[in-house]
């Protein structure tokens, strides 16, 4: 007998959030300003003006309300549409945070909990 319960793969809660984020794909390259779609203490989903392939590592500067900007790194786990196309003006990118210190992760958890 099959269960009607679906399992959620995410370990952390996620909330809709329109936060400013700056992206840096290559060292020395200028940052791209963008905005988030949603966020958790493990990762962020954001808009990008260009396609970013899965497994790409990138630098990010995240602006949480009433906090100093936080520098962090992440790895892209999904980009929609999945391929670069001339007619696409905006991509949606899911990124998993790498090497977050405990203070930043606690700050993210607090932000998420206060916006549930």
Give the mean pLDDT of 49-58.
Answer: 94
Report pLDDT for 9. 53
Report pLDDT for 113. 93
DSSP state of 14: -
Taking the C-alpha atoms of residue 27 and residue 59, their distance in angstroms, rounded to an integer, is 8
Give me 111's structure tokens.
Answer: 């932000």
Quick check: 85 pLDDT over 70? yes
Q: What is the pLDDT of residues 3-31, one digit of tens each?
A: 333 334 556 799 999 999 999 988 788 89
Give the mean pLDDT of 45-57.
Answer: 95
| Domain segments of the chain as ranges | 15-114
Give the predicted TM-score (pTM) of the model. Answer: 0.85
pLDDT > 90 fraction of the chain, expressed in percent and rounded: 72
Report pLDDT for 63. 96
User: 15-114 falls under which CATH superfamily?
Assistant: predicted glycosyltransferase like domains (2.40.10.220)
């Amino acid at each position: 007998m099959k269960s009607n319960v679906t399992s959620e793969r995410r370990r952390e809660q996620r909330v809709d959030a329109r936060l400013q984020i700056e992206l840096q794909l290559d060292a020395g390259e200028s940052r791209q300003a963008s905005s988030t779609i949603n966020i958790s203490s493990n990762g962020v989903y954001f808009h990008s003006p260009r396609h970013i392939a899965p497994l790409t590592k990138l630098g990010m500067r995240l602006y949480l309300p009433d906090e100093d900007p936080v520098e962090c790194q992440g790895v892209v786990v999904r980009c929609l549409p999945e391929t670069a196309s001339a007619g696409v003006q905006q991509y949606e990118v899911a990124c998993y945070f790498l090497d977050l210190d405990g203070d930043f992760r606690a700050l993210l958890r607090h932000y998420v909990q206060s916006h549930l």
